[in-house]
Amino acid sequence: MGAPRLRQPTPAVRGAGLEPGRLLAAVDAAVSYYRAQLAHADAPRAYLAERGLGVLVQREWPWRVGYAPPGWSSLTDHLRAAGFTPEELVGAGLSARTRTGPDRLIDVFRDRVMFPVRDPAGHTVAFLGRSGPHAGDVPKYLNNPRTAIYNKSQLLFGLAEQQDRIAARWTPVLVEGPADVLAVWLSYSRSGRTGAVALAPCGTTFSDTQATILRGLPGAARGLVTAFDADPAGRAAVDRAWRLLRHPCCPGPLLAAEFSAGADPADLLRRPSGRAQLRTALRRRAQPMLDMVIDHRLTRLVERHPRLLEDIDGRCAAVRVLVPLLFEATSPQEAIRAARRIVAHTGVGVDTVATVAISHLEDLLHDFGPPGERRQPRR
């Protein structure tokens, strides 16, 4: 028998019109169910141990990591027996109806390690489900659908669970997913020192609202750090974080931690002395985020035009692409340092960068001047 085809529920926001307290109760009951399943699931327990997260199997709080079993309707059957209605289970994003049998419900999450997502008040409102290492051709992470109690673009994973570290003004670190959040959390669990508190978007692209939350944290005055994979997706995530975090101005410096290709915080945790290595990467190997954005933009240029920097025309073309970043700097000192980086990476003189910068500024001034004085930008 093939997999049932799902029917998308209406309205688009699941649970609209239902009692929010019942939706919260259903999600909380799912947390307890998933937690109980993890206690008897050897493969997910082994997977967590392999990732350096084995402590989460025995230690329930604050994360309450669990496991969704592979059956089509294991959770649905359990919660319906507990008195929850089909409308409540669909409205909470825990169950889905099928196209072939609208009255039949199946579980949204199956055969996944489950990370509960909490709102600022500490209520569990959703889940992020991580597939196992041998799950086949399925998404690595499955995100809870949007519901009346959950909007993924307005929450950060790990915020509610780490209020003690946040209140102590630990430096916020933006990471890719829940495993990275937990890796940073564990790396400071026995360090006895002020450190970094990691947070992650809830299975979605980093949003304006999430950037506002990060900038408003007490530790943001120490700086904000990104810690992503050294791959194209990770580079794009750093660039997006720079655009959203720099405006309006962040209270502290914007930094980016460097990781080797294919590595991230969760990968470091598995290595010998991984916790110490991760602390070092976040504290000592973080560079100004704008420097990394410049590097990323030049790397993309050279990938498209491998011989770009072999002659003066190509180098000047690269400078024209990079110079607008100088005007995104958060301070004059940062702009000067970024200009020096462009000089070093392209091999042009300081005067060339200065000339292109002046030309770019003139274009900007004319673009925003009175209509009669505007002109077409230089090509």
pLDDT digits (tens, 9 = 90+) for 102-136: 679 999 999 999 999 999 999 999 999 999 767 77
**72-87 mean pLDDT:** 97
pLDDT of residue 4: 45
pLDDT of residue 5: 45
CA distance 146 to 117: 12
First to last CA, the chain: 61
CA distance 335 to 58: 49
CA distance 369 to 329: 22
Strand partners, 6: 98
Model confidence at 196: pLDDT above 80: yes
Instruction: Calculate the average pLDDT of the chain.
Output: 90
Instruction: Name the band, by pLDDT with cuts 50, 70 and 90, for residue 368.
Output: low
3-state secondary structure of 282: helix
The answer to whether 182 and 63 are in contact (CB under 8 A) is: yes
Question: pLDDT tens digit string along 234-283?
Answer: 899 999 999 999 987 888 999 999 887 667 788 888 888 889 989 998 98
Model confidence at 74: pLDDT above 90: yes
Cα–Cα distances in angstroms (integers) from residue 98 to residues 4, 73, 75, 108, 337, in the given order = 6, 12, 16, 11, 57
Q: Which long-range contacts (CB under 8 A, 24 or more apart) does 333-342 make?
A: 334/288, 334/290, 337/288, 337/291, 338/290, 338/291, 338/294, 341/291, 341/294, 341/295, 342/294
CA distance 272 to 131: 25
Which segments within the chain are labelled E, that is strand?
A: 6-7, 66-68, 95-98, 105-107, 112-118, 124-131, 141-143, 156-157, 171-175, 196-201, 224-227, 254-257, 286-288
Q: Name the nearest CA neighbour of 114 among 19, 28, 21.
A: 28
Strand partners, 157: 200
